[in-house]
Structure 1
Amino acid sequence: MSTNHRLFGKKNSPMRVHMEEATAIEQIVKQLYEMTEPHLKRDLVVICIGTDRSTGDSLGPLIGSKLENMNLKRFYIYGTLEKPVHAVNLVERIAEVKEKHSRPFVLAIDACLGRMNSVGKITLAEGPVQPGAAVQKKLPSIGDIHMTGIVNIGGMMEYFVLQNTRLHTVMQMAETIAKAIGETDALLPEKTASPSLLHSLRLKPQILLRSKNEPSM
């Protein structure tokens, strides 16, 4: 669970849209595509942070499970209802991502508390997110870019607020974000092999041909 928009510097110029806007998904897709398109040679990783033990903090795992069921071609998904990424295992999962992926480009997703008139808004911006900041937990920042959804009002009794957040709000927001990421994935081209790998593949037929022509010992 992150804090609200006050964490973001002015230079980030975050995109902010309410989940009920008619063009919400379209706006998110456009922004997310522009952010990820320059990094197509890297592994694109989505880390959905949160836990299903708290209604307000279940946004990330809900999104992760929806994305996992989409069989995406470009985005690798971490953080689902079955295998959540949360405060207890965040450091371990970050290490896992770094080990499994070549120069990962990470989109971090987390729920967020904010002002009353901001509930329902989704933010997408450059830079990392600070998980746990809203409930005074010191966790490592994560993400090359981040997306947050404001699920309820912040300012006091954050744990109580999270536990009493409307599931409908979280589910609606999760659906909007998951659809946007799915549509972005469909627009991105298939991942191609690295130049060094392509070079080695082009050499293989020549190597095989030479080996066949060589006299046996």
Structure 2
Amino acid sequence: MNLINRFIPKKEKLQLMYDNPALLDQMTDRVLSWTPAARDYVVICIGTDRSTGDAFGPFTGSYLLEEDLKHIHVYGTLHEPVHAVNMAHYFDLVRMEHRHPFVIAVDASLGKYASVGTITADIGSLKPGAALNKNLPDIGDVHMTGVVNVGGFMEYAILQNTRLSLVVAMAKRMATLLHQLDEQLDHKFSVSSSVMR
């Protein structure tokens, strides 16, 4: 069984360079429009600290946990990464700890040269390990990826030789974005509760 909920209205995905000044506001608004009120919000940052490019997720999780989060629960950090070997364990843990979780999956990806450095948000599940031909279950109601390098050949070696400076810069930006989303969820809760009165 996958950690996916399928009842989200479809809007177009959004892809922007990580250093685009409009990234935080535009992407927060887009992801917020997909987010149901009054749920357990779970961010699962996928990857490993054993590969520079694949450390995007764990770096994001570690930076995000440095923030004062009110609504978002984070799994996957540099110290406790969520990767192919232990993913099933974390699936079970999320199901036990959270009732009807709304899952945002975060992972590194490879793409075209012009896409390197972009962050993408889209509705639907993420297929972790696809670039490395790993057969892992789909995950997420929404997925957010960072294109850390060029794909198409020798993906494992490409991830191993990705520049750490880019990965860290993108992960910090993603963590800031998710922290802003957490703050906006606060506003969404207060608005929805006042409407119900």
TM range (shorter): 0.7 to 0.9
Structure 1 unaligned regions, length at least 5:
1-10, 193-217
Query: What residue number does 2:31 align with?
Result: 32
Structure 2 letter corresponding to 1:105: F
Structure-1 residue corresponding to 2:73: 76
Mapped partners of 2:158, 2:122: distance in 1: 25
1:168 aligned to 2:174?
no
Residue 189 of structure 1 aligns to a residue whose secondary structure is helix
> Equivalents in 2 of 1:187, 1:126: separation in Å?
18
Q: Give every structure 1 segment of 4 or more consecutive aligned residues whose post-TM-superposition deviation is greater than 4 Å.
A: none
Is 1:51 aligned to 2:79, yes or no?
Answer: no
In the alignment, does 2:64 pair up with 1:67?
yes
CA distance in structure 2 between the partners assigned to 1:61 and 1:20 by the alignment? 20
Residue of 180, 184, 197 corresponding to 2:181: 184
CA contact (8 A) 1:108 1:146 kept: yes
Q: Once the 2 structures are TM-superposed, how far is the Cα of residue 12 of structure 1 from its aligned partner?
A: 6.2
Normalising by structure 2, we get a TM-score of: 0.88
Larger CA deviation: 74-83 vs 183-192: 183-192
Instruction: After TM superposition, list the pairs within 5 Å mapping 1:53-202 onto structure 2.
Output: 53-189=50-186
Q: Who is 1:203 aligned against?
A: none
SS of aligned partner of 2:136:
coil
Figure out how many residues of one structure are paired with residues of the other and give that number: 180
> Which of structures 1 and 2 has the bigger CA Rg?
1
One-letter identity of the residue aligned with 1:40: A
Partner secondary structure for residue 111 of structure 1: strand
Shift of 1:13: 2.5
1:106/1:143 contact within 8 Å kept: yes
Q: CA–CA distance in 2 between the matches of 1:34 and 1:189?
A: 14
In 2, distance between residues paired with 1:20 and 1:62? 17
Deviation sequence 1:12-44 (CA, Å, 0-9, x none): 6311111121211121111122122xx222100
Q: Over the residues paired in the alignment, what is the CA RMSD in angstroms?
A: 1.5
Q: Which has the higher helix share?
A: 1
Query: Retained in 2: the 8 A contact 1:107–1:147?
Result: yes
Q: Distance in 1 between matches of 2:23 and 2:15?
A: 9
Runs of 5+ consecutive residues of structure 2 not aligned to the other structure: 1-9, 191-197
Within 2, Cα distance between the matches of 1:105 and 1:12?
A: 17
1:198-209 paired onto structure 2 within 5 Å: none
Query: Which residue identity lines up with residue 73 of structure 2 in the other structure?
Result: Y
Whole-angstrom distance in 2 between the partners of 1:97 and 1:40: 19
Q: Note if contact 1:12-1:127 (Cα within 8 Å) is conserved in structure 2.
A: no
Which residue matches 2:15?
Answer: 16
Q: Distance in 1 between matches of 2:25 and 2:102?
A: 22
The question of whether the paired residues in 2 share the 8 Å contact of 1:48 and 1:109 is answered with yes
Q: Aligned partners of 2:11, 2:105: CA distance in 1, in Å?
A: 15
Provide, for residues 152-206 of structure 1, a one-character-per-residue CA deviation record: whole Å limited to 9, x for no partner: 00011111100110011101111111101111111222879xxxxxxxxxxxxxx
SS of 1:188's equivalent in the other structure is: helix
